[in-house]
Structure 1
Amino acid sequence: MSVSTSTPRDGVALVTVDHPPVNALPVHAWYELAEALTAAGRDPAHRAVVLTGAGRGFNAGVDIKEIQRTAGHSALLGANRGCAAAFAAVYECEVPVIAAVHGHCLGGGIGLVGNADALVATEDATFGLPELDRGALGAATHLSRMLPPHLMRPLYYTGRSVTARELHRHGAVWALAEGPHTLLETAFELADRIAAKDGLLLRLAKEALNGIDPLDVRRSYRYEQGFTFEANLSGVSDRHRDAFVDAPAAEGAER
């Protein structure tokens, strides 16, 4: 299993992704994550969920190697639908979700944190969408929930990463942790404050906030994914993915 759930605090579930070496997830793991988040939110004992990643970083997106070694389009379509399911599970989780990030948060990782209710991170955590360098399009929907458009767009076009400290200045990060050793405690501080509220009212509040959200994240992200598949059919995506897989330093994948 790439995803585990525990209850380290009263009313708080901890969902941890652990898929070495860099938490670049294959298709099945995206669905595992979606199921774990949905189950954690549905449990009446939980009033908040903390989502984090084990190992070297929070999330490095999809496993591009899986896509390139699978004949046809099944792995690409599976990754598209798996990502959509996991992102929606964060957004539609019945209780607030706090993303706790250290190391890298790339591609699909942005889809997860951009749909969370709050974000805490180590000061040196990095966030980016290297989509254009990987022959893909997507997760601008979620980056746009974190940053103003004239910052989001050049970051998307260039693929440049930003640090958690930069995001904190723009109000996207609730709190900064000194390092990985204090990250979860920082997340639990917020989770405990949330979990102290009435569980029914929290669930109603989450549904109400989603209901007044100006952006339909499901529709918007699926619209973006259509352009990913168009790029794939044109052949340009394979060229970029092959270049990434063949690079000597390639250890994982992002999207």
Structure 2
Amino acid sequence: MIESTVDDLGVAEIVMANPPVNALPVAGWFALAAALDAAGADPAVRAVVLRAEGRGFNAGVDIKELQAATSHAALVGVNRGCAAAFSAVYDCPVPVIAAVHGFCLGGGIGLVGNADVIVASEDATFGLPEVDRGALGAATHLSRLVPQHKMRAMMYTSATATAAELHAFGSVLSVVPREELRAAAFAVAHDIAGKDPQVIRAAKESLNGIDPWDPKRSYRYEQGFTFELNLTGVADQVRMDFGK
């Protein structure tokens, strides 16, 4: 589900592969967090490329796992797992380059929004279909990708934005043909890996320190509303209606 390797230049490659749509279960989110933590803790690692295999980058949480659960344990688990994975991207001591293809939805936005650099393929689309699933969350991270009013419109309507749109906003560094995506991400990673590693790690820490808000805290605030919607039964009804 989560594979991790490190090349000779110190670039760690972490790959999500959970067909058919890379929607991760509870265990998958924690495994991703652990892989990112391990990469950052390795002194030989100078940068991380986060990418995926399959039809798209990430489709968020495994809704089937939540629907099959007989208690709120799965909901608590996936919320904590997502928070852990998003935080692991943000807190990784070295820069994380997200290589995005196909769909990047829900939890995928949380990962990409916390990344340091984003490279996307021409077919990549980004969105938060949370309201159609009776949930909320990751508006914190979408706000790091698109302007405030665009984010609100996307949140309310579940509309998606293209890689070209995000490139115009400046949040996506480059847009390339899909077959060139991995190479483009590694080109950025190898450029970073060629710098002094102590300076790069200090730069990452300093940039996090001057962020205008704490994305970890604001995301956990958002999650409280998801809990409320589930506890009141609204989320289940919305998901059932959406599936009809």
Contact 1:124/1:165 (8 A) holds in 2: no
Taking only the aligned residue pairs, the percentage that are identical comes to: 63
Partner of 1:107: 106
Q: In structure 2, what residue type is equivalent to 1:175?
A: S
Structure 2 counterpart of 1:252: none
Please tell me the residue identity of whatever aligns with 1:50.
V
Match of 1:48 in 2: 47
Q: Is the CA contact (8 Å cut-off) linking 1:64 and 1:241 kept in structure 2? A: no
Instruction: Give the equivalent residue in structure 2 for 1:11.
Output: 10
SS at 2:5 equivalent? strand
SS of residue in 1 equivalent to 2:76: helix
Distance 1:157 1:39 in 2: 37
Q: Which has the higher contact order (CA 8 A, sep 6+)?
A: 1
Provide TM-score, normalisation by structure 2.
0.98
TM-aligned CA deviation for residue 239 of structure 1: 1.1
Q: CA RMSD in A?
A: 1.0
Q: From 183, 186, 209, give the equivalent of 1:185.
A: 183
Q: 1:9: how far off?
A: 4.9
C-alpha displacement at 1:93, in angstroms?
0.3
Question: Are residue 209 (structure 1) and residue 207 (structure 2) matched?
Answer: yes
2:183 paired with 1:222 = no
Distance 1:147 1:230 in 2: 27
User: Letter of the aligned partner of 2:219 in structure 1?
Assistant: Y
Unaligned runs of 5+ in 2: none
- Paired residues, what number? 244
Q: CA deviation at 1:243?
A: 3.7
Three-state SS of the structure 1 residue aligned to 2:104 is strand
CA contact (8 A) 1:23 1:59 kept: yes
**In the TM superposition, what whole-angstrom CA distance separates every residue of 1:177-203 from its partner, at most 9, and x where no partner exists?**
111x21010101111111111111111
Aligned runs of 1:102-141 on 2, under 5 Å?
102-141=101-140
* Cα distance change on mapping 1:103 and 1:9 into 2, 3 Å: farther
Q: Which runs of 5+ in 1 are unaligned?
A: 248-255
Q: Say whether the 8 Å CA contact 1:127–1:162 is kept in structure 2.
A: yes
For the pair 1:200 / 2:206, whether they are aligned, the reply is no
Distance apart, 1:8 and its partner CA: 3.5
Q: Counterpart of 2:85?
A: 86
8 Å CA contact 1:107–1:128 kept in 2: the answer is yes
Alpha-carbon distance in 2 for matches of 1:75, 1:175: 37
Residue in structure 2 matched with residue 58 of structure 1 by the alignment: 57
What is the distance in 2 between the residues matched to 1:203 and 1:42? 11
Counterpart of 1:182, as a letter, is: E
Task: State the distance in 2 between where 1:3 and 1:119 align.
Answer: 19
Q: Write the distance in 2 (CA, Å) between the matches of 1:225 and 1:102.
A: 26
User: How far apart, CA to CA, are the structure 2 residues paired with 1:138 and 1:83?
Assistant: 10
Structure 1 segments (4+ residues) deviating >6 Å? none
The residue type equivalent to 1:133 in the other structure is D
TM alignment of 1:27-42, pairs within 5 A: 27-42=26-41
TM score, norm. by length of structure 1: 0.94
